[in-house]
Chains A and B, each alone.
Chain A
Amino acid sequence: MDFSFTEEQTLLRNMVQSFVQDNYDFDSRMKIVRSEEGMSREIWGQFAELGLLAAPFSEEMGGLDGGPIETMVIMEELGRGLVVEPYLPTIVLCGGILSRHASDAQKEAHLPGIIGGEDVWALAYAEPQSRFNPADVLTSAKADGDGYVLNGTKAVVAAAPWASKLIVSARISGDQRDSDGLGLFIVEKSASGVSTQDYPTVDGNRASEVTLENVTVGADALIGDAGNGLALLDEALDYGIGAVCAEAIGHMKCLNDATVEYCKTRKQFGVPIGSFQVLQHRMVDMFMEYEQSVSMTYMVNMKLTESEAERKKAAAGAKVQIGKSGRFVGQEAVQLHGGMGMTEELNVGHYFKRLTVIDTQFGNVDHHLKRFAAA
């Protein structure tokens, strides 16, 4: 048993950490969030230069051969900086699906654009009625010659406003919530019949409602086998959970540090408020929630590559932990900062808002409790 990081992993962490410190302080972050586009292509290009966009891909594909632990290290550090650039959708979700399941031809066609930082990708899987069930898919894919015609609506697609390419889940056969019959399709956002309604989200990111109207794609758009899309999607979402858990522990760490620091310096009744036992215990609880979350984050990221059953249970358990702890730490950090915690000007509220979105992303606590019980 060993919970220590390798030298390479530590170097990776140091690199991302110092990049974020030097280039992504809170003011810079808010400038990016409030800009017209809402992300920085310059920062994204620098991620490419640093090799971050190549990290999880195999060497033969031009990658650095990293695994879930490397992704975890990167996401934790990006979380500390509240980075909005689309590492999760492009690299972890879509990049992950492509690297694990795409054909050689698909990889050759698409991975260089991801690794080089030219293309942002978004995973369009949720639908207005689907809530957290990825099998609940009304978007249809009808066979048409060699290819398919796609019709349907995808909901709250993170990073879609920035994306040039999408991976879309669509039903090739079966009924609305059947686990068989789904396909994952690569769709150019510029393709005829694709339209989007773009908007900001609570956490400073951007998302879209994506409508597909008679969008024709070739046979080379389908990833993996026809009808097997749900297994690929479930796996990708579990990798996504591993990544947002890491991002969330980055947030929690920053919130806890900020809260402790604030309570040491903020004076009321002639003493620092951190000298009050009732507040000390609250901060101890926040600290314990953070430590428990770190444990579950390590656990899930070590189990992502295990059997499907183990992976699912680990992901569900970790997501429950992160959802609960993130909510607790976020709410308490605001409370202990008093009025200051309520202001847009302080970073505390922004960590809290991202943690709130993470609680829902890929399914909330109730959803994963059920999934855990069933696994």
Chain B
Amino acid sequence: MDIDFEPEDKAFRDDVRSFIEENYPQHLVGVDRGELSKEDFLAWHKILAKKGWAAPSWPEEFGGTGWTVTQKYIWNEESAAFGTIPPLPFGIAMLGPVIYNFGNQEQKDWVLPGILSGDTWWCQGYSEPGAGSDLAGLKTKAELEGDEYVVNGHKIWTTLAQHADWMFCLVRTSSDGKPQEGISFLLIDMNTPGIEVKPIITIDGGHEVNEVFLTDVRVPAKNLVGEQDKGWTIAKFLLGNERSGIAGVARSKKAIDRLRDIARGELEDGAPLLDSADFARKISELEIDLTALEYTELRTLASESKGQGPGPESSILKIKGTEIQQRITELTMEAVGNYASPWVPQLDRGDNYLSIGPDHAEGVSQSYFNNRKTSIYGGSNEIQRNIIAKMVLGL
């Protein structure tokens, strides 16, 4: 057993660190995701695309970097330590691997370049009002008429669909057999007539998710990925990929550093809150749990580098990763005391807006409320536990 990096890995780390420092857009340093415009979201991605680093997780032949597992890990660590805007997951992490594993040549040729360049923004049309945890219960219907599918249905929790050019969508093409058996994976142009995107405002006051209504939306049959009625395999493959990146260890480390800074600046009876034994203990507990998760993730990576794909164990990363993220935001909110209460939505701030309380209190409760979603999305933590119970423990 050995946890030290090789010299060439250390050199690689220095290279990517200086690349990030030299090239990351100044105006996006330390910016909250909630404040980003579409251009902001894509700014860093486009710089990486030019460098050829937009999709480190992809095979080289499709535009990946050819990095080793360790190098990819270092890249994620350095990106998080600097606090870059996380890359949009929909294209790079979700759809890309689906296309190069299940798509035909024509689909590879037109889908992958748009993802890499950042010119095409994808959203994920999975959940429906009646199909959440039970995704296979989806009802959005696609009927083949000539060389077109006619799609009718209602998708929900569609993240950032307001910016999307295209949607990859699970649709029902057959009602025969088990629910899993009649599902297909379809690529839909968001500009097609019959698509309506309606915002959902969440309890943190933000607009990230949407409802997407599809009424007689005509989709060319060539936009079907894989075989008709066999989309469930693709859907599950994609969810497995969604889970593996979700631990967020490096970003949680960064968030704990920030928490510690805040606690250093907050006073309790005249002394820094960080000096309070109670508070320091809670930060330490978080840090220890995060260390355990980090090593669990490294163990997963190590077996991945030996060719074993992310198995159902990756559900551990999702559960523990999101629980830790939630506890960090909770403790950060606790750190700022009374100043967790002020709540002035971005839209209501005039030109003369003065921030309330210390700058570091800004947005901490929004972040706490927003992060409650992490144990719900991407397969709720209850579903993840079911996966471990069934697939790992054999129960």
Contacts and interface: CB of A to CB of B under 8 A. Distances in A.
B133 to A, nearest CB: 5
A155 B339 contact: yes
B344 A199 contact: yes
Contacts of A133: 268-269
B359 to A, nearest CB: 13
Contacts of B333: 356
A370 B276 CA distance: 12
A360 B132 CA distance: 34
Nearest to A344: B201
Nearest to B203: A349
Contacts of A267: 130
B199 to A, nearest CB: 10
B337 A132 contact: yes
Interface residues of B, number: 50
Contacts of B344: 199-200
A-B complex: 9 closest residue pairs judged by Cβ atoms? A349-B203, A268-B134, A344-B201, A201-B341, A156-B338, A202-B343, A131-B337, A269-B134, A342-B202
Nearest to A278: B382
B340 A353 contact: no
Contacts of B340: 202, 356-357, 360
A155 B357 contact: yes
B356 interface: yes
Interface in A347-367: 349-350, 352-353, 356-357, 360, 364, 366
28 contacts: A126-B338, A128-B357, A129-B267, A132-B338, A133-B269, A136-B269, A155-B339, A197-B354, A200-B342, A202-B365, A202-B369, A268-B131, A268-B134, A335-B372, A339-B376, A339-B377, A344-B202, A345-B200, A356-B333, A356-B340, A356-B368, A360-B334, A360-B337, A360-B340, A364-B337, A366-B276, A366-B334, A369-B278
Contact of A331 (B268, B372, B377): B372
B337 A339 contact: no
Interface string B324-360: 0000000001100111111110001000001011100
Contacts of B377: 339
A201 B369 CA distance: 14
Interface residues of A, number: 47
A177 B134 CA distance: 57
B220 interface: no
Contacts, number: 133
Interface of A: 126, 128-129, 131-133, 136, 155-156, 176-177, 197, 199-203, 207, 209, 267-270, 273, 278-279, 331, 334-335, 338-339, 341-345, 349-350, 352-353, 356-357, 360, 364, 366, 369-370
B156 interface: yes
Interface of B: 127, 130-134, 137, 156-157, 200-203, 205, 209, 266-270, 273, 276, 278-279, 333-334, 337-344, 348, 354, 356-358, 365, 368-369, 372-373, 375-377, 380, 382, 385
A313 B144 CA distance: 71
A353 B370 CA distance: 12
A356 B326 CA distance: 14
Nearest to B366: A202
Given A199-B356, A342-B202, A356 B365 contact: yes
Given A155-B357, A269-B133, 15 more contacts: A132-B338, A136-B269, A155-B339, A197-B354, A201-B341, A335-B375, A335-B376, A338-B132, A339-B127, A343-B201, A353-B203, A356-B333, A356-B365, A360-B334, A366-B279
